[in-house]
Amino acid sequence: MITSQHPGLSSWPGCLVECHSVRLILDTDPGVDDALAIMYLAAQEDAEIVAVGSVHGNVPAAAGALNALRVLELVELAPPVTVGAARPLAQPLQTAEFVHGEDGLGGHAGPPPKGTVAPGSAAEQIVRLARANPGELTLLALGPLTNVALAVLLEPDLPSLLRSVVVMGGAVTVPGNITPYADANFYHDPEAADLVLGAGFPELILVALDATEQARVGTEWLAALAEVKSPRADFANNLLDHYGQFYSNMFGEHSCTLHDPLAAAIALDPKLAGYRKMPLGVELTGTHTRGQVVSDLRSISSDAYISTKAGAGRAPVKVAESVDVPAFLDLMFAALKD
Ligand code: BDR
Ligand code: CA
């Protein structure tokens, strides 16, 4: 992880050859797997977290910001952390402590962080940084898309100001998790998810459950990490114990799915996945299917047939399909063991 300010895609002291870094704005709702994603990013030489914004989701936005500060302090990073949207655009707040624990970190949040949140909102921070660094920053969104949608509304040119956007959310060809049809991030703000998918980002990678459900660690991987003793590994093991317990109760097997860490890894190295390009929308009115990703998966030319309005005319999204799971799990293990 790069700790100093540097000019991004260029060289800086310490690199013998030109170093290429991915400069990230992180939008997150920590959240056990969000915390693990921050730890993953912190361990990578080619990543710089420029700023963090919290969003409602797994826990309320204010609690998520404090959790982000806690994890960043553990990994000795100090980007500004702003508090983001406190509620979704068009529905009441719903959080997911039943998955992530009352404190969002599986009961392991510990004492308050030493640092404090930065002034301003997460959406304003995205806009300010994107304007100041046109074409340079990758926005990695690991929670509901409320802040990103607000940023698009504040700055309609946002799609051309960002280098790329990587979103963890949705379920395109597989079942949902929080409902049979929707993943938690899209379900927690369907209007925001639909707005972002239709905003015209030229490079939008969607790391949906289709990809993340492949990134599941089991007993052996968890046991190997549990052998490692260090402050960071101890924290990761505590989080994974909690998460594993949830999965055991839910699915009857000791495992956990590394949703947000996989999205973080793909943001740094898109070659970890193969993609299918398609325009996407989000179901906003379905009685049972609100928050579901809507796509036209027919192999026919849909022009000649009735089209779904949801994706029609929209810029295609790169949906991660195949994942190099062994490579990702090795990277993840290495990141958490130090
Ligand atoms: C997503 O929902 C949250 O619970 C996780 O942090 C992840 O971002 C998975 O559907
Ligand atoms: Ca998350």
Predicted confidence (pLDDT) per residue in 201-258, tens digit: 999 999 999 999 999 999 999 999 999 999 999 999 999 999 999 988 887 888 999 9
In this prediction, residue 20 carries a pLDDT of 74
Residue 77 binned pLDDT confidence (cut-offs 50, 70, 90):
very high
- For a ligand 1 pocket test, name from 26, 28, 29 the mutation site with the most ligand atoms within 8 angstroms of its C-beta: 29
Q: What is the mean pLDDT of residues 259-284?
A: 97
pTM for the whole structure: 0.94
The Cα 214–Cα 231 span in angstroms is 28
Cβ proximity of 75 and 103 under 8 Å: no
Q: Is 315 in the pocket of ligand 1 (CB under 6 A)?
A: no
What atom of ligand 1 comes closest to residue 178's alpha carbon?
Answer: 10
What atom of ligand 1 comes closest to residue 183's alpha carbon?
Answer: 10
In this prediction, residue 4 carries a pLDDT of 37
The Cα 157–Cα 222 span in angstroms is 44
Q: Is 168 in the pocket of ligand 1 (CB under 6 A)?
A: yes
pLDDT in tens, 115-161: 999 999 999 999 999 999 999 999 999 999 999 999 999 999 999 99
Assess whether pLDDT exceeds 70 at residue 332: yes
Q: What is the mean pLDDT of residues 17-29?
A: 85
Share of the chain above pLDDT 70, in %: 91
The Cα 186–Cα 193 span in angstroms is 6
Alpha-carbon torsion 213, 214, 215, 216, what sign? Answer: positive
Assess whether pLDDT exceeds 90 at residue 13: no
Residues lying with their CB under 5 A of ligand 2, a single-atom ion? 29, 31, 34, 142-143, 260
Active site residue 259: yes
The Cα 319–Cα 316 span in angstroms is 9
CA 33–ligand 1 middle distance (angstroms): 7
C-alpha closest to that of 250 among 98, 118, 113: 98
In this prediction, residue 90 carries a pLDDT of 98
Q: Is 259 in the pocket of ligand 1 (CB under 6 A)?
A: yes
Residue 298, classified by CB atoms within 10 Å of its CB into exposed (0-12), middle (13-18) or buried (19+), is exposed
